[in-house]
A and B are shown apart, each in its own frame.
Chain A
């Protein structure tokens, strides 16, 4: 694999930014660290979500399902296995679950896929609730010595991993195949692309990352309940943040995550009872006003500058 100067610049810039971000816990107060965890968390979720949903245009609302499965992997496994085994294990479970869901649903298109993925989180939540009722337990305690800073660093590492993987996929046959599928699935098939296989493979990426993120976050909750681990709000927030930033570029989602996190902090603090309503409004505004997200705005501005320079 030959890398251009631009590739090296991109890699170096990403590494430096991650390095700077990693200093946050050493410098600031608990409040800012909490914000940092939220940003890192949604960066991982929204970026991995966009890897699949960006090129294919399949809107997945399954994030909460995978995240919850990851949370429960840590919750149920922490007494039996060393902690460091649990996030990778959650990743495997998440990927396997995504493969199953993908095989069952990716032949469907559009709205059926959306509804199924939304239902999935609810379905798994009900199963766990039922299991707890039968066994007579309510929630699970996750008591570890893992601090907020540890969680933050793990999430930053995951973000780096998502970007690296996304970059590699973008340069691969699989990435090209998915762009073709997103443009015209019929043409893709008649060009010789195994469309179902490509979609299932790529759907496993957000599945695995959301599950790992859930596993990493579990110690922060201390006490895990199904309603907390499988909250559908998480799925919607990830979609909105990714769309706000833009799914056309690897760095798109994070550009949406950062402002949205601050906006959301403000909204949750000032009008805590209207958050769902405002989330819906935000979604409509983004779809109508910024169909390509901030990435679209930035690229249009850049094109205008280039054109202006061309005429000068």
Chain B
């Protein structure tokens, strides 16, 4: 097997909130062009893990590195500038701004910073890519639910991140939208983006992820190819014993 150096690595990452251990000794790597699924029952620590990577929370222990350089204790804005972009579990858009301006926020301040016509061109290109062409002038309050998700995705992509973190990006979509959403993320995968996907939708996990890390009660209980991991008895027990999602 060819050795590939990971884009993002977690080693022994732990987060405690008082007595509660939300994430316990997480270890995993994401390699370039890989879509890694981070799955597990509700409350298993998936979103907390994303928050630790993106700098919304600071780990209590362990190290997180981006292309070998530690980012463990950096502030969220510095992690974003180094190339980690994210979406939020509950969509967060900039309500006073247009669709174009929302996407431009990512192009102007992300990993690769642009300004003026270059930033506008980048925002336009991404709006087209996620299926928002011609809607740049709308206020975000006028959008349908899936379109708000598209805006958030375009904003995250606009700064050319090295790693994209998607926190339940497909949650809450109706069946038609879900199909569109999966197709959209598959395109990101085909473009060779590096993505960590926190997701509950099993169909999406099967069709999108190269590999999966399964969490339960803050700990990694399985890691590997999607089919193997989903057949793992411990994983089945974790899901059935806790949450039947």
- Which residues from chain A sit less than 8 Å from chain B, CB to CB? 173, 176-177, 179-180, 182-184, 186-195
Contact = CB atoms under 8 A, between A and B. Distances in A.
B77 A189 contact: yes
B92 A187 contact: yes
B54 A190 contact: yes
Given A191-B110, A192-B110, A186 B92 contact: yes
B86 interface: yes
Contacts of B95: 183-184
A199 to B, nearest CB: 12
Nearest to B117: A2
B105 A189 contact: no
Given A182-B96, A192-B159, A187 B77 contact: no
B75 interface: yes
A250 B75 CA distance: 33
Contacts of A194: 77
A61 B140 CA distance: 32
A249 to B, nearest CB: 13
Most buried by B among A173, A177, A183, A194: A183
B94 interface: yes
A180 B94 CA distance: 7
Interface of B: 54-56, 75-77, 80-81, 85-86, 88, 92-97, 104-106, 108-111, 113, 115, 155, 159
Contact of A193 (B56, B92, B104, B109): B109
B105 A176 contact: yes
B111 to A, nearest CB: 7
B76 A189 contact: yes
A186 B75 CA distance: 12
A52 B214 CA distance: 46
Given A173-B115, A179-B97, A191 B92 contact: no
Given A173-B108, A177-B109, A180-B105, A191 B159 contact: yes
A192 B94 contact: no
A186 B56 contact: yes
A191 B97 contact: no
A190 B94 CA distance: 13
Given A190-B56, A191-B105, A183 B75 contact: no
Nearest to B109: A192
A190 B76 contact: yes
